[in-house]
Amino acid sequence: MNKIESLYADFIQERENNALKRYLTDVTTPKAGRVITGGREYINFSSNDYLGLSQHPTLIERTQKWAAQYGAGSAASRLVTGNVEIFTALENKIAAFKNKQAALVMVSGFQANASILPALFDKNTLGEAPLVFSDKLNHASMHLGCQAASITQMRYRHNDMAHLEELLEKNKQSGTPKFILTESVFSMDGDIAPIDKIAALAKKYDCFLIVDEAHATGVLGINGSGLALKADLVIGTFSKAFGAFGAYIACSKMLKEYLVNKCSGLIYATALPPAVLGAIDAAIDMVPTMNTERARLQNIAQNFRNEMNDLGFDCGDSATQIVPIMIGQSDDALSFSENLKSKNIWAAAIRPPTVPNNTARIRFAFSAAHTEDDLDQLITTLKSYNIKAAA
C-alpha cells in the first residue's frame, strides 16, 4: 500500500470505527418484494419499487422487443449519433403525463440533478450568480448540483415556510435571479413538502421553482403524475415507482431547448439503451391506470404507521409509502436491522452522512407487491422487540 492509498485506508477504518462502513451484498431478486442472499429469502422492505413494476411481464416484454428492434446500446450522445426516434415519442408521453410542454430523458436521477442544476444556475447565462433557496434535507445530488455550479445555497429549515419566507424577504430587493429548490417527497423521511405554499412564495418573490419528484412520480397526484403541477421545472426518475431506470425533466419547450444546448449530462453522456427506453415506455402506459395499487400502497403505509405509533416507535412526519423508524445511533440502527434479518425481513439501516448525525433509522419502503402476509410478518416481528432496543 502506498502513501496515498494509506489515507484512503484510514478513511475506511474511521468509517468502520463509527459503524458507518458500507458493504456491497450480492443478491438476486426472484420477484418484486423479495431478495435472496446466502441462499436465504427475505421480504424486501428497502426497495423503491413502489408499484412492483420492476418484475412486471409487460415491462420485460417491451424491453426485449425494443432491444431486438433498436439494438443493445445507444453508442453515443444523442447529439452525436442522432436522436433515435423512440426518444421523441417517449418524451411526448412524459410531457403529457407531467402536464408540461416538453420533457427530456436523462441517464439517471443523480446525474440529472448534478448536471441540470449547474446549467440552470450558470452565472454567465444569468449575468450573475443566482440566489438558490434550498430545503436543508434535499437529496445529495441536488446539493452536488449546486456545488458544481459554484453557488452558495441559502438553506431553509426542512419544510419550514416561515424560515423560507424570512430568507426571501431579506433578499427581496435584490434583482439577482432567484430559485427555490425542493423535493416533493423526501426520500429518507417520507414526508411531503407543502408545494402549494412554496409555489405561492415563489410567485410572490419572483422565484423560479424546481421540484424533484423522484419519490412522488407514479405514486401521488392525479393518476400518479406527482405533486409539482405548479413548478417551473420538474426533475424525476424512472428507477422507483416506474420499475425501470433513467430520469426525466419536464418543463417548457424553451427550457428544453436551452438544456439541450447547455446541460453537460445530456451533451456528453451516452444515451440510455433502447431496452431501458422500452421499460420506461411500458411503465408510462401502465402507471396512470394503477389507481387501485396506489390507494392500497398508501393504505399499507398508513396502517403501518398506526401500528408503530401504538408501539411507541417514532416514524417522524412520514405521510407516504416511505416510513422510517427513528433509532438515533448508527450502531443501534445496524443492530436493529440485523435483528430484522434474522426474521427474514430486509430493511436497511440508514446512517450518516445520508441522514443527519444522531438520526440513524430503519427506512421501510412499501410496495404494492407486498402481500398481507408480508405485512403481518413485519408487524408481528416488530411487536416482538423491546421498544428500548430501537430507541
Domain annotation for the chain: domains and CATH numbers: 3-51+291-390 (3.90.1150.10), 56-288 (3.40.640.10)
By DSSP bridging, strand 208-212 and strand 34-37 are unpaired
**Residue 343, C-beta contacts closer than 8 angstroms, at least 6 positions apart:** 377, 381
Residue 25: which pLDDT band, with cuts at 50, 70 and 90? confident
Segment 210-216 mean pLDDT: 97
pLDDT of residue 201: 98
> Residue 185 gets which letter from DSSP?
B
Please report, rounded to a whole number, the percentage of residues in the chain having pLDDT higher than 90: 84
pLDDT higher than threshold 80 for residue 390: no
| Per-residue b or e along 187-223, where b marks 16 or more CB atoms closer than 10 Å to that residue's CB | bbbbbbbbbeebbebbeebebbbbbbbbbbbbbbbee
Q: Which residues are catalytic?
A: 48, 139, 183, 187, 212, 215, 240
Mapped onto helix, strand or coil, the DSSP state of residue 247 is: strand
Q: How far apart are CA 243 and CA 357, in angstroms?
A: 31
Q: DSSP readout, 262-276? A: H-HHHHSSPPPPHHH
Q: What is the mean pLDDT of the chain?
A: 93
pLDDT of residue 204: 97
Place of cell 407514479: 218
**Distance from the first to the final alpha carbon of the chain:** 41
The closest alpha carbon to 219, from 242, 198, 251, belongs to 242
Tell me the per-residue pLDDT of 233-255, one tens digit each, with 9 for 90 and over.
Answer: 999 999 999 999 999 999 999 99
By DSSP bridging, strand 102-106 and strand 247-251 are antiparallel
Tell me the per-residue pLDDT of 85-142, one tens digit each, with 9 for 90 and over.
Answer: 899 999 999 999 999 999 999 999 999 999 999 999 999 999 999 999 999 999 999 9
Segment 312-339 mean pLDDT: 94
Residue 285: which pLDDT band, with cuts at 50, 70 and 90? very high
Place of cell 424491453: 63
One-letter amino acid at 218 equals G
pLDDT of residue 388: 45
* Region at 312 (left for phi over 0; alpha for psi -120 to 50; beta for the rest): left
CA 251 to chain CA centroid, Å, is 19
* Region at 243 (left for phi over 0; alpha for psi -120 to 50; beta for the rest): left
Please report, rounded to a whole number, the percentage of residues in the chain having pLDDT higher than 70: 98
φ and ψ of 104, to 5 deg: -140, 125
Residue 386: which pLDDT band, with cuts at 50, 70 and 90? low
pLDDT of residue 389: 47
- Are 112 and 239 a contacting pair, CB within 8 Å? no
Four-point Cα dihedral 88, 94, 99, 102, nearest 10: -30
Q: Is 39 exposed, middle or buried (0-12, 13-18, 19+ CB in 10 A)?
A: exposed
pTM for this entry: 0.93
Tell me the per-residue pLDDT of 130-183, one tens digit each, with 9 for 90 and over.
Answer: 999 999 999 999 999 999 999 989 999 999 999 999 999 999 988 899 999 999
pLDDT higher than threshold 70 for residue 387: no
Residue 20: which pLDDT band, with cuts at 50, 70 and 90? confident
